[in-house]
Structure 1
Amino acid sequence: MTMTDLPNPRLLSLRDAVARRDKLRTEGKQVVLTNGCFDLLHTGHVYFLSEAAKLGTALFIALNGDASVQALKGSTRPVQNATERAYLLGQLNFVDTLITFGTPRLTAEIKALKPDVYAKAGDYTLETLNLEERSALEAAGAQIRFLPYLEGYSTTSLIAKINAAAQTF
């Protein structure tokens, strides 16, 4: 079996995600949107995502595409490609829908999805959110929530630990 054989029914196109969002809205359900690279899924990610899911009925994750991750994090990233990252996120029972995006900003996806709530980890503030994205969220009427940041857990620190461990072999 190869990675392309693994099913990921939660990974949708933006068009299908919007249709899913519309269906949920007609059912009176609240959609929470978050986004990120989620390069090496770790405790901090799972903690944040599980807390974000509690803010509504359905958690939508917009996953940075590979080129976007590389532009943000450098030439050695992502460690795992978007298909692999989406598969792992899709295995979390509190994740409803996944989309990938390849642009530097999530503005178009926010405008299309019109989330009820937008969640980011507490290492962000209203002032540090991208102004375009913030404007799109405000126009959509989304509540912007910052959740506690679990100190000491990041992909960068995980990579550093792995590199340190590898030097001992």
Structure 2
Amino acid sequence: MGEIVSLEEALAVRDKLQAEGKTVVFTNGHFDLLHMGHVDYLQRARGLGDVLIVGLNSDASTRALKGEKRPVVSQSERARMLAALACVDYVVIFEETTANSLVEALKPDLYVKGGDWDKGRSPPEAEVVASYGGQVHILPYLPGHSTTKLIETIVDRFGSGRMEDGE
């Protein structure tokens, strides 16, 4: 099981791991309404190195990027669910709308992003990664799995009807 850590704790862990010659992989995202696409992505990211650190957008940064109705699940719950996954070693919550400052501080060996960045554009953090000699790796998403699709399915099936406990 992973740990939820502060940036300072993550930096200390990173220093120790890199001194041991371990490959540190970093990714980031909202991970709202955790689903199979997230799990598959995180497992594949972890498989690229020895340790996976996940940067989690805070509630405020998620609202700024996704709109006032998001996140559906609070940052503390999202962090706990991520840390409970065997493939996630550390979770760091961050407030900014990009992970630039987190990537700049952590300097992971490998920065991983999902397939939505594989359409002729680079993630905003790519320049930071290049500045210290790290690598950016784009992983394709598991088709048919997204938080937006999950929300749409729930709305289509249940609309504004209220469910009783146990349904």
CA distance in 1, matches of 2:143, 2:131: 32
1:47 to 32, 37, 40: 40
Does structure 1 conserve the Cα–Cα contact (< 8 Å) formed by 2:25 and 2:52? yes
> What is the identity percentage for the equivalent residue pairs of Structure 1 and Structure 2?
45
Instruction: Name stretches of at least 5 consecutive residues in structure 2 with no aligned partner.
Output: 162-167
Instruction: Name stretches of at least 5 consecutive residues in structure 1 with no aligned partner.
Output: 1-7
CA RMSD of aligned residues (A): 1.5
1:23 aligns to 2:16 (yes or no): yes
In the TM superposition, residue 159 of structure 1 has moved relative to its aligned partner by: 0.6
- SS of 2:63's partner is helix
In the TM superposition, residue 60 of structure 1 has moved relative to its aligned partner by: 0.4
Equivalent position amino acid for 1:23 in 2: K
Q: State the 4+ residue runs in structure 1 displaced beyond 4 angstroms.
A: none
1:71 aligns to 2:69 (yes or no): no
Residue number in structure 2 paired with 1:136: 128
TM norm structure 1: 0.90
1:148 to 119, 140, 149: 140
In the TM superposition, residue 127 of structure 1 has moved relative to its aligned partner by: 2.0
Matched positions, count: 160
Equivalent position amino acid for 1:26 in 2: A
1:11 aligns to 2:12 (yes or no): no
Does structure 2 conserve the Cα–Cα contact (< 8 Å) formed by 1:32 and 1:53? yes
Equivalent position amino acid for 1:123 in 2: D
TM norm structure 2: 0.91
Does structure 2 conserve the Cα–Cα contact (< 8 Å) formed by 1:115 and 1:140? no
Task: Give deviations 1:73-115, integer Å, cap 9, x for gaps.
Answer: 1110000110000000000011111101101121111111010
In the TM superposition, residue 9 of structure 1 has moved relative to its aligned partner by: 6.2
CA distance in 2, matches of 1:137, 1:89: 24
Residue number in structure 1 paired with 2:86: 93
CA distance in 2, matches of 1:35, 1:161: 25
CA distance in 2, matches of 1:84, 1:28: 32
